[in-house]
Amino acid sequence: MATAIKEGNTAELQAAFYDNSDALVDPDAVSLVIYDQDQEVLLTGITFDGTATGIQKRSTGNYYYEYTVPVGQNITKIFFEYTGTVDSKPSLNRKEVKVVWI
């Protein structure tokens, strides 16, 4: 995944989930929240529910979501946070992507 994306383009926001043995696993209740640079929520309620509009599963433990960065909202960064439950424990993946105009 790119560490920078142009405003108005679509980014593939990826996450991988591992168990305590560092093996890829499918967590329970995968969800995603996207924030701007001020930690204001841009999008929430995104889940892995088997629909084309939700989180997609690429392979065991690997998930992605295609997000289009809004235009004209002065967003300079997005942070995305995947959560799930692995072995009855919360698992969190958080990453940052820079948003550029050019």
Q: pLDDT tens for residues 12-29?
A: 999 999 999 999 999 999
**Which amino acid is it at 13?**
L
Which residues of the chain have a pLDDT value below 50? none
pLDDT of residue 2: 55
pLDDT of residue 101: 83
Query: Given CA atoms 67, 33, 75, 14 in this order, what sign does their dihedral have?
Result: negative
Domain positions in the chain are: 4-100
pLDDT of residue 51: 80
CA-to-CA distance for 93 and 74, rounded, in angstroms? 25
The CATH topology of domain 4-100 is: Immunoglobulin-like (2.60.40)
* Structure-block tokens of residue 39: 């930690």
pLDDT of residue 102: 75
pLDDT of residue 1: 53
* Structure-block tokens of residue 40: 């204001």
